[in-house]
A and B are shown apart, each in its own frame.
Chain A
C-alpha cells in the first residue's frame, strides 16, 4: 500500500516526515466487529488548512478522536511532530462538536476560554492575570470580547462555536483538530471562523477540519482528506477534489454535479 502524503509544496521523504505535524499510519478503529475507520494512513504538512470530507457515518469524528487517543484503535500508529500524542499533547488543540457538552453548565464565556490554558498550567497552578489576558485576547480574535461575562447558555449556537474556537486558540497549539466547527452556525460566525483559520495558517499552524458543506471546500481549504471508512483520497484540493473522487467517496447515494459555481451534490 502506498503512503499518501500531503506533500505539496514541500517534498516529503520518510526522513523529514519526522517533523510533520500529524502522521497517521494504518489506523483502524472498530466498534464491536465492525471497523468504523479502516487502515487509514496520511501525513499533514505544516501551514495548511485541510478539510476532512465524507458522508455521514464515514468515521470522520472517530478518525479525529482516535488521532487524539480519545477512542481506542485496534491497529495503527499516530505521530504528532514525530512523537506520540501523549508526549506532544500541548501542541494539539482540539475543538469538539458543540453538542458534546452541556451548555447549561454554570460558567461564563471567559471561563470556558480560560480552560484552554489549563493544559499548560500543570497540576497545581491556577489561571492568573497572564492567562486572563490571553483568554481575553482570544475572545477578541473571534469577535466575542463583549460577551466575556455572559452565561454560556445565553449565547447563540454560532457564538458558542466561536467560544470553542477561542478556547482552542488559548491552547496556543501548533496543530488544530476541529470537529464540524461550521455545523449550524450563522453567516457572521462562518466568516469569523474562516478568517481565523487563515490567520492560523499564516502563523504556520496546521488545521484539520471535519467539514460537511461541499460547496465551500474549494474556497476554504488547501488540501482535502476524502474518507468513507477507508481513505478514498488525499491531496491538494485542485488535484483531487473532483466529481470522480467524490463519486467514489459518497458512493451511489449521491449524484455529483460539477458546475461553474463548484461542486454540488444531489441526493438520488
Chain B
C-alpha cells in the first residue's frame, strides 16, 4: 500500500470519530471540555510510556483515558465548589498539560516522544509505525487504534442514541425519567478521552480539538436534525482530511495543521453560505421582511 493511502485512512478515521463526538460536545456546550481533555491526556501518555517503556497501545490507551476522565472529574468538582466553569477548565487542563510536558522533558532520553509531536502529531510517519502480532505485520498501529476507537463509538452511539440525545437536550427531564444521565456523561467523556489518545500521535493535542469542534459546528449550521448533523459532521471531517493532505503535500508543511486549516475554511464557507443558517441567507431574509413591512 502506498503511504498516501495509510495517511489518508488514518486522518479519515480520526475525523470520523472526532466528528461524531464533537456534535454532542457542542450541543451540550462542552466544546471547551473537549479542549481540556485533549490536553489532559498528555501526562497519561507520558506516564504510560515511562512505565511500560514501549508504545504499547493498550496500556497507553487505558492510562491516558483514565487521565482524561480524571480531568473531567476535577473540573466538575471545581465547578461544584463554586468556581466558574471556564476558569475551572483553564486551571485543570493547563496544570495537567504542564505536568505532561515536565515528565517528557525530564525523561527525554527514556521517552521516544518529542514535544513537537505532542503539538503537531506525526501522521506523516504512520506507515512505518506498524503493529506486529505473532511476527506478522498487521499494518499501521494508528489505523488499528483509531479504527477500534471509531468502532466503539459507533456501537455505543447506536445502542444508546436516545439516551445521549435526551441527556444533551434536557438533562433535568432525563434524570426525572430515570435515565442515568451521569453515566452517559462519563461515557461520552470517556469516548472523547479515548479518541484524543488514539488521535494524539497522529495529529497532536490541539488539532484534536479542532477536529472535535470545527466539523461539528459546520454541520450544526447546515441542518436542523441531529441524525443529519452527525452525518454531515463526519462528512466534512473526511473531506477536510483529504483536501488537507494534498494541501500539505503542495505546501510542504504539517499534514495535521493543514487538515484543521481546511476544516476551518469549510466552516467559514458554511458560516457565510449555509442555506439554513448562513450570514447571507439571514441578511436576505431580513431585507425581505423589511421590504414587506414597508410594502404594507
Contacts and interface: CB of A to CB of B under 8 A. Distances in A.
Complex contact flag A–B (Cβ < 8 Å):
yes
A126 B225 contact: no
Interface stretch (A35-43, A87-95, A202-210, A252-260): A87-95
A70 B173 CA distance: 9
B154 to A, nearest CB: 16
A132 to B, nearest CB: 13
B179 interface: yes
B177 A118 contact: yes
Nearest to B168: A105
- The B interface is mostly helix, strand or loop, or mixed, namely helix
Contact of B224 (A107, A115, A167, A171): A107
Contact of B177 (A102, A107, A171): A171
Contacts of A171: 177
A92 B225 CA distance: 28
Nearest to A89: B178
B125 interface: no
B178 A90 contact: yes
B25 to A, nearest CB: 14
B226 interface: yes
Interface residues of B, number: 27
A94 B137 CA distance: 57
A92 B29 CA distance: 28
A101 interface: yes
B229 A106 contact: yes
Interface in A90-149: 90, 92, 94, 96, 100-102, 105-108, 112, 115, 118-119, 121, 123-124, 126-127
Contacts of B220: 106
Nearest to B226: A106
Contact of B27 (A106, A118, A124): A106
Contacts of A126: 161-162
B170 interface: yes
Given A105-B226, A123-B160, 18 more contacts: A68-B176, A69-B175, A70-B172, A70-B175, A86-B178, A89-B177, A94-B176, A94-B177, A96-B170, A101-B170, A102-B29, A106-B223, A107-B169, A112-B169, A115-B162, A118-B162, A119-B177, A119-B179
Interface of A: 65, 68-70, 86, 89-90, 92, 94, 96, 100-102, 105-108, 112, 115, 118-119, 121, 123-124, 126-127, 151, 167, 171
Interface of B: 27, 29, 159-163, 165-166, 168-170, 172-179, 220, 223-226, 228-229
